[in-house]
């Protein structure tokens, strides 16, 4: 069964709508079937990269963007930016929005990201020339998360 969650993000006065599919996983007792790499890294059989207690999103590993535990970020949607692999990723998780935000509030500074002012339901951080925005929308069955990696301003 597929459900779609949507996030609206304002960029330069223009509203951008992002969709994210949520898959309900069925317990079949068998191992999970092989699936294409959801990160577009081209290394579907490679083990996840870990640094300390954080696993990084492979396409953003060079920026040390942590992957939310248990999440499956979708494909990278590129944005015009000077940051390598800049763009957006979205995913859905069963956890409440506040738990997701708390993970990023803790993980990003531990990885050298400097937190910046941000509105409620979002988090902004900068590391070198990169800026990361985390937007979390609470839904009926969990949260939809949008990560946006762009140029620092």
Measured CA to CA, the distance from residue 81 to residue 104 in angstroms comes to: 23
Q: Is the dihedral of CA 84, 64, 40, 148 positive or negative?
A: negative
CA 67 to chain centre: 6
User: Which parts of the chain fold into alpha helices (H)?
Assistant: 97-110
User: Which domains are seen in the chain, by residue range?
Assistant: 59-153 (3.30.310.80)
Which burial class, exposed, middle or buried, applies to 24 when counting CB atoms under 10 A from its CB (0-12, 13-18, 19+)? exposed
pTM for the full model? 0.68
CB 129 within 8 A of CB 83: yes
pLDDT tens figures, 84-119 = 999 999 999 999 999 999 999 999 999 999 999 999
Cβ-Cβ contacts under 8 Å for 103 (sequence gap 6 or more): 66, 68, 69
pLDDT tens figures, 4-51 = 444 444 444 434 444 433 333 333 333 333 333 333 333 333 333 345
Please tell me the predicted confidence (pLDDT) of residue 139: 94
């Amino acid at each position: 069964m597929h459900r779609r969650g949507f996030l609206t993000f304002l960029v330069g006065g223009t509203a951008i709508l992002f969709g994210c599919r949520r898959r309900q996983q069925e317990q079949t007792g068998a191992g999970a079937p092989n699936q294409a790499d959801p990160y577009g890294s081209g290394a579907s059989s490679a083990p996840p990269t870990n640094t300390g207690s954080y696993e990084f999103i492979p396409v953003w590993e060079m920026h040390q963007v942590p992957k939310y535990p248990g999440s499956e970020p979708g494909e990278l949607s590129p944005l015009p930016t000077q940051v390598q692999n800049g763009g957006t990723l979205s995913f859905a998780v069963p956890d409440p929005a506040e738990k997701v935000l708390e993970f990023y509030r803790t993980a990003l500074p531990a990885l050298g990201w400097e937190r910046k002012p941000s509105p409620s339901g979002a988090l902004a951080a900068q590391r070198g020339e990169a800026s990361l925005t985390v937007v979390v929308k609470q839904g009926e069955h969990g949260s939809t998360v949008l990560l946006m990696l762009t140029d620092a301003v």
